Amino acid sequence: MVKISMREFTHDIAGYMRRASLGEEFVVMKRNQAIADIIPHNKGKIKPGWSLNMPKKIIQKEGFSDELIKFRQKERS
């Protein structure tokens, strides 16, 4: 990856985006610390686990609120 300063990046954003679309990768640096990676978009990339569609499980028992109401009624009696 090519390291570029924040100033270089802000002065030629369009150029760096064009180069990234052609497959080049960049690391944007600010005060010698990496703050961003500019990489080409990957349409086939797998979604992170938290955004996958998970099957929903239907609960056959009473819900939490119903159990809480019963618990409070028992406490009060």
- The two structure tokens encoding residue 21: 């679309």
CATH homologous superfamily of 1-41 equals YefM-like domain (3.40.1620.10)
Residue spans of the chain under pLDDT 70 = 45-52, 59
pLDDT digits (tens, 9 = 90+) for 39-54: 998 877 666 666 667 7
Nearest to 16 by CA among 33, 28, 31, 30: 28
The model's pTM: 0.55
Domain boundaries, the chain: 1-41
pLDDT at site 57: 74
